[in-house]
Every structure is written in structure tokens, then in C-alpha cells.
């Protein structure tokens, strides 16, 4: 249902991808090209000698490297702190719910509802994902369990989607869980060199990094290997913008998506 004072914008080429499958396929491709995947071995320190990084220390072993990229998401602040950097990346928890679609609503489009502060999309043949744009806790522990949602989240999510799609008043709950991410004051990432030579930041995507990750990854790799150019598209995301008071604001921004 859309009220008389509401409008909707339709993007026919919009879509979504499964995050786990996408990440897995990208990792598989990287491994075919020589990358090594090390799991369940947290980084405890970025090793520095003099004024440059020389590798990382993990719970399992040490790795030598002339370049270290901090792409640790909710853990980015911890990693940066090991080289003496205090980066403005807060731990941000985001809950999601999956509900069974009612029989008379076999399918619907994915959408963002700015009026009711939630978004939703189909999940498989019979489920719908619901998540909220407000009430997402900050300053949490990135190691906290994520197998459940916060108390009261399911009730709020159900109330929001029923406002827009009343058929969901007959939906049943399938499951709910949460995830941890890093969020910055302007809700845009930090990308570029910082601290000792060879240390790079690629973090603080504030819940919106999935769709731009391939392009940013390619651009950042080129920047690290080839050096900056006159057309450095990533310069706007530099770490120093916060100290300089030059936070990012879109020319036609619809405001901070998370509240």
C-alpha cells in the first residue's frame, strides 16, 4: 500500500546477489590465481620495523609482507590500533529476519522503504528477508554471537512490512540472525594509505560495500602497485578527511541510510 503523499522510484536493472555464494566464488577464483586462504587464525598484530610494515602476526603463525591491507570490517579498528592508528570505524550490528511468504503473495520485488525505514527482498522460493534502517546498535563487540537477533527486532520488523504489504500479517517467522560491520561518521568507507609505509585501509563500508567491492578492489590493487594517478577516484575516501573536516556528502544525497 502506498499513501497519497508517497512516491516510488522503479529501477528495472536493480537486483541482488547471494553474499555467501558471491564471496565464495571470488575466493575460489583468487585461489586459482595463487592466493592462499587462511581461516580461523585471527590477526593479533601488524608487524612494523622502523617506519614500514613487514607483515602480520596471527594466532597461528607470522606472515611476511611489504604491504598489509586492513579490510577487516567490524575488526578494522583493532587491526589499525596495532600500528598506532585510531580510525573512526565503529562496530555496528545489523539484524535480519526471514519470514515465510503467505500463499497469496508468491513473489515480490526487492525494495527499500525510506518512509518506514526498512528494506526487503525475496530469499529463495518461499522466504522474504526483512531488515531495518534504524535501531541498529553501535559500539558493540565484533566477537559477540550473531546467531540471534536483538530482543524486540522481530516485532518491529513485522510491524514495518505489514504497513507496506498487509499480506505479511499472515506470514510465519522462519529465523533471524545478525551480522557485524564497521560504520564511519559519514557512512562512507576509508580507502588509502595510513600510518607506516605499506599499511593501507579498506574498511568502514557502513553496510553498503558489497555492490562496489569488485570495482574498489581492482582500483585499490592498481593504486598499491602502480601508485596514484591524476585520476585517482579513491582519493575522496582518504583517512585524513575526518581530521580535515571534509566528510563526504553526495550532491543529491538521500541522507544517511542508517539511523
- 136, 154, 180 - which closes a domain: 180
- Both 161 and 237 in one domain: the answer is no
- The pLDDT tens digits for 13-72 are 988 898 899 999 999 999 999 999 999 999 999 999 999 999 999 998 999 999 999 999
- 135, 154, 180 - which closes a domain: 180
- Both 43 and 167 in one domain: the answer is no
Calculate the CA 130 to chain-centre distance: 16
- Both 171 and 98 in one domain: the answer is yes
Residue 200 domain-assigned (yes or no): yes
The yes-or-no verdict on residue 75 having pLDDT over 70 is yes
Show the domain range for 219.
38-89+185-241
- Both 151 and 104 in one domain: the answer is yes
Which residues pair with residue 111 across a beta bridge? Answer: 120
pLDDT band of residue 258 (cuts 50, 70, 90) is: confident
Residue 5 domain-assigned (yes or no): no
- Both 191 and 77 in one domain: the answer is yes
| C-alpha dist (Å) from residue 9 to 1, 4, 114, 118, 160 | 14, 15, 11, 16, 19
Q: Are the CB atoms for 190 and 99 separated by under 8 Å?
A: no
- What mean pLDDT value characterizes the chain? 93
- Both 236 and 121 in one domain: the answer is no
pLDDT band of residue 255 (cuts 50, 70, 90) is: low
Residue 213 domain-assigned (yes or no): yes
- Both 99 and 145 in one domain: the answer is yes
Q: Are the CB atoms for 189 and 212 separated by under 8 Å?
A: no
- Both 67 and 192 in one domain: the answer is yes
Q: How many CB atoms lie within 10 A of CB 115?
A: 14
Indicate the number of domains in the chain: 2
Residue 137: which CATH number? 3.30.9.10
- The pLDDT tens digits for 79-117 are 999 999 999 999 999 999 999 999 888 888 999 999 999
Please report the pLDDT score of residue 224 as a whole number.
95
- Both 100 and 162 in one domain: the answer is yes
Please report the pLDDT score of residue 237 as a whole number.
96
Residue 123 domain-assigned (yes or no): yes
Residue 42 domain-assigned (yes or no): yes
Q: Are the CB atoms for 113 and 254 separated by under 8 Å?
A: no
161 burial via Cβ count (<10 Å: 0-12, 13-18, 19+): buried
The yes-or-no verdict on residue 259 having pLDDT over 70 is no
Please report the pLDDT score of residue 251 as a whole number.
76
Half-sphere exposure of 137 (CA within 13 A, CB side): 16
DSSP the chain: ---TT------TT-----HHHHHHHHHHHHHHTT-----S--EEEEEEETTEEEEEEESS-EEE-S-EEE--GGGHHHHHHTTT-----EEEEEEEEEEEPPTT------EEETTTTEEEEEETTTEEEEEESS---BS--TTS--SSPPTTHHHHHHHHHHHH-GGGGG-EEEEEEEEEEEE-TTS--EEEE-SSBTEEEEE--TT--GGGHHHHHHHHHHHHHH---TT-TTGGG-GGGTTTT-----TT----S--
Please report the pLDDT score of residue 121 as a whole number.
95
Residue 65: which CATH number? 3.50.50.60
Residue 58 domain-assigned (yes or no): yes
Amino acid at each position: 500500500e502506498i499513501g497519497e503523499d508517497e512516491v516510488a522510484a522503479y529501477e528495472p536493472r536493480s537486483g541482488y546477489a547471494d553474499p555467501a555464494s558471491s564471496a565464495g566464488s571470488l575466493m575460489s577464483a583468487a585461489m586459482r590465481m595463487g592466493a592462499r586462504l587462511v581461516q580461523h587464525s585471527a590477526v593479533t598484530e601488524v608487524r612494523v620495523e622502523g617506519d614500514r610494515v613487514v607483515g602480520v602476526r596471527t594466532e597461528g603463525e607470522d606472515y611476511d609482507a611489504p604491504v598489509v591491507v586492513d579490510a577487516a570490517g567490524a575488526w578494522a579498528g583493532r587491526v589499525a590500533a596495532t600500528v598506532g592508528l585510531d580510525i573512526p570505524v565503529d562496530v555496528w550490528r545489523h539484524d535480519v529476519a526471514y519470514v515465510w511468504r503467505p500463499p497469496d503473495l508468491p513473489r515480490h520485488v526487492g525494495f527499500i522503504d525510506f518512509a518506514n525505514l526498512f528494506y526487503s527482498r525475496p530469499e529463495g522460493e518461499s522466504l522474504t528477508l526483512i531488515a531495518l534502517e534504524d535501531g541498529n546498535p553501535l559500539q558493540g563487540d565484533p566477537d559477540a554471537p550473531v546467531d540471534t537477533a536483538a530482543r524486540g527486532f522481530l516485532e518491529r520488523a513485522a510491524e514495518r512490512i505489514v504497513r507496506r504489504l498487509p499480506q505479511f500479517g499472515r506470514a510465519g517467522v522462519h529465523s533471524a540472525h545478525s551480522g557485524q560491520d564497521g560504520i564511519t561518521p559519514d557512512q562512507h568507507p576509508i580507502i588509502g594509505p595510513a600510518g607506516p609505509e605499506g599499511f593501507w585501509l579498506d574498511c568502514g563500508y557502513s553496510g553498503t560495500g558489497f555492490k562496489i567491492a569488485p570495482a574498489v578492489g581492482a582500483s585499490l590493487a592498481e593504486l598499491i602497485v602502480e601508485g596514484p594517478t591524476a585520476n585517482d577516484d579513491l582519493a575522496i575516501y582518504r583517512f585524513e578527511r575526518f581530521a580535515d573536516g571534509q566528510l563526504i556528502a553526495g550532491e543529491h544525497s538521500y541522507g544517511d541510510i542508517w539511523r
